[in-house]
A and B are shown apart, each in its own frame.
Chain A
Amino acid sequence: MDLFTDLLTGLFFFLGSLSIIIGACGLIKLPDVFSRIHAAGMIDTGGTAFFVLGMIMQSGWSLITVKLLLIGIFIFFTSPVTSHVTANLAREKGMVPVGKKIGKLL
């Protein structure tokens, strides 16, 4: 049972590390604010969810589990709020996504 928990923790940590590294590379590589929001959301949701799941596997049932779930749920709900505020303000300040023209939808 201990080996199974450790293997599951390793798998979750691997997926979380992959998620945050891909998100950081996307934050460097992508050309625009509106597309970089996608990479930032990947860091927030994927990375936090997988790392919190892996640490919950290690902690067992205690107060530590409740604190980890609190961190996970808080970041899970505030990340879309931040992304939406950023995109809304960027559009309001007159930025246009790369490859789009100002038409009916924009």
Chain B
Amino acid sequence: MFLAALTACAISALLVLARIVLGKTTFDRVLAVNSLGTIIVIGIALHGFYANRPEFLDIAIVYALINFIGTVAILKLFSTGSFKGNKK
């Protein structure tokens, strides 16, 4: 059961990776990287259950936090050109 769910995660991760490679604009790539991070979070949690080691959930929590912060930071850098201040 967990192996089937992990397979579905792998298939959708490959499709999202194709969008990251093919994407025309920066926003496509940022959106696809965020979705890939969500799929990886689900995959880490599923692998923790599959290998009977639920300590992997801590890594999944940290990955979710870093995914959100990284996405917002990349968009802010692309918007204003620096990480500080409101406007350039």
Consensus secondary structure, chain A interface: helix
Interface centre among A9, A52, A82 (most CB of B within 10 A): A82
Interface size, chain A (Cβ < 8 Å): 46
- Please measure, in the bound complex, the distance between the C-alpha atom of A41 and the C-alpha atom of B42, giving whole angstroms: 15
Q: Which residues of chain B have C-beta atoms less than 8 A from A47's C-beta?
A: 38-39, 42
Q: Is the CB of A68 within 8 A of B57?
A: yes
Interface size, chain B (Cβ < 8 Å): 40
CB-based A-B contact count at 8 angstroms = 129
- Please measure, in the bound complex, the distance between the C-alpha atom of A92 and the C-alpha atom of B8, giving whole angstroms: 36
In the complex, the chain A residue whose C-beta lies closest to that of B31 is A40
Chain B, range 36-87, C-beta contacts under 8 Å to A? 38-39, 41-42, 45-46, 49, 54, 57-58, 60-61, 64-65, 68, 71-72, 75, 78-79
Q: Is the CB of B39 within 8 A of A37?
A: no
A106 CB–B CB distance under 8 Å: no
- Given known pairs A20-B8, A43-B12, the reply for A33 and B25 (CB within 8 Å) is yes
Chain A interface residues (CB < 8 Å from chain B): 6, 9-10, 13, 16-17, 20-21, 23-25, 27-28, 33, 36-37, 39-40, 43-44, 47-48, 51-52, 54-55, 58-59, 64, 67-68, 70-71, 74-75, 78-79, 81-83, 85-86, 89-90, 92, 95
Chain B interface residues (CB < 8 Å from chain A): 1, 4-5, 8-9, 11-13, 15-16, 18-19, 25, 27-28, 30-32, 34-35, 38-39, 41-42, 45-46, 49, 54, 57-58, 60-61, 64-65, 68, 71-72, 75, 78-79
